[in-house]
Structure formats: C-alpha cells, structure tokens
Amino acid sequence: MTPEQQLKLLTDRLQIARKGIILLHDPKAKTASMLPAFLRYLRDNHYRVVHLVPADAKTVSGKAH
C-alpha cells in the first residue's frame, strides 16, 4: 500500500467509527512517511493521541506483590 492509500484507509475508518484505537507496528518506511499527515488529521479533527504503557508485572492496582 502507498502512504496515501494507508492514510485514506485509516481516515475513512475513523470517519465511520468516530473513535477507536489505532495500533501501528509496521516498521516500513511507507508507514512512517504517512504518519505526519495522519497526526495532522487527528489534530485537525480533535482526536486525542495517548501513550499506552504496559502495566508493571510486579504491580497490580498500585499494590506490589
């Protein structure tokens, strides 16, 4: 897929759902080159970008085990 096709696919799906979680783990340069335009789209359409951090395996609900 070209970067433009990737961007269209993502933005079309977001326009339909109006919410969601986007997980990109593709190491290809085409995906990386699409990201600036995708991030602009998210900003311009008032989406929030958040960073998810896995829970520490030793800590559950703030309590050490």
Residue-level pLDDT at 57: 57
Residue-level pLDDT at 4: 95
Answer whether residue 64 shows pLDDT above 70: no
Residue-level pLDDT at 54: 82
Answer whether residue 62 shows pLDDT above 80: no
3-state secondary structure of 60: strand
Give the angle 50-55-61 at the CA atoms, nearest 5°: 110
Residue with tokens 């699409």: 34
Listed in sequence order, the residues at least 6 apart from 31 whose beta carbon sits closer than 8 Å to its beta carbon are 3, 6, 24
Q: In this predicted model, what pLDDT tens digit does every residue of 13-59 receive, in sequence order?
A: 999 998 888 888 778 898 899 999 999 999 999 998 888 788 875 65
Tell me the pTM: 0.71
Give the angle 46-7-24 at the CA atoms, nearest 5°: 85
